[in-house]
Amino acid sequence: MFFLKGFHLPSMASIVSRHLTASDKGRVFGICLAGSHFGSIVAGGIGSLLIDLFGWRSLFHFVGMISFIWYLFFERLTDSVLSGRRARVVFDSGGNAMQDESLIESDHFIKKKPSKGAIVATAVPWSKLFKHPSFWAASLAQYCGANAYFTMFSWLPYYFSDNFPQATAFVYNVVPSLAIVFTSLFAPYFASKLLTHGCSITFTRRFMESVSLIGMGTCLFLVSLSSRFTISLALFTLAMALRGLHHAGVSVNPHDFAPDHTGSVFGIFNAFSAITGFIGVYMAGWILHSSDNQWAYVFIFTALQCIIGAFVYGLKGTGSRII
Read off the CATH number of the domain in which 225 is found: 1.20.1250.20
Of the chain, the percentage scoring pLDDT greater than 70 comes to 77
Residue 119 resides in a domain:
no
Query: Comparing 130 with 281, which gets the higher pLDDT?
Result: 130
Q: CA 90, CA 195: separation in Å to the nearest integer?
A: 42
Q: How many domains, in total, are found in the chain? A: 1
290 occurs within a structural domain: yes
Instruction: Tell me whether residue 93 is in a domain.
Output: no
Phi, psi of 117 (to 5 degrees): 85, -5
Residue 291 belongs to some domain of the structure:
yes
pLDDT given at position 112:
46
In this prediction, residues 161-185 reach a mean pLDDT of 87
Task: Tell whether the model's pLDDT for residue 263 goes beyond 70.
Answer: yes
pTM: 0.75
**Does residue 169 sit within a domain?**
yes
pLDDT in tens, 111-160: 444 444 444 557 889 999 999 999 999 999 999 999 999 999 889 989 99
Residue-level pLDDT at 109:
42
Residue 61 has pLDDT above 90, yes or no: no
* Mean local confidence (pLDDT), 171-191: 87
pLDDT of 47 over the 70 cut: yes
CA atoms of 136 and 130, how far apart (whole Å): 7
pLDDT at 118: 45
Q: What does the pLDDT read at residue 102?
A: 47
Q: Is the pLDDT score of 98 beyond 60?
A: no
Could you tell me if residue 60 is inside a domain?
no
What residue type is 237 in one-letter code? T
Confidence of residue 67 (pLDDT cuts 50, 70, 90): confident
Q: Are 213 and 310 in contact (CB under 8 A)?
A: yes
Tell me, rounded to whole angstroms, the distance of Cα 304 from its chain centroid: 22
**Cβ 229 vs Cβ 167: under 8 Å:** yes
Q: Identify whether 109 is part of a domain.
A: no
Q: Is residue 89 part of a domain?
A: no
Is residue 81 scored above 80 in pLDDT?
A: no
pLDDT score of 120: 52
State percent of the chain over pLDDT 90: 40
- 294 phi, psi to nearest 5 deg: -90, 95
Q: Which domain, by its residues, includes 31?
A: 2-55+124-316
Phi and psi torsions of 224, nearest 5°:
-70, -15
For all residues of the chain together, what is the average pLDDT?
82
The Cα diameter of the chain in Å comes to 82
122: nearest Cα among 299, 264, 290, 276: 264
3-state secondary structure of 119: coil
Alpha-carbon gap, residue 312 to 321, rounded angstroms: 19
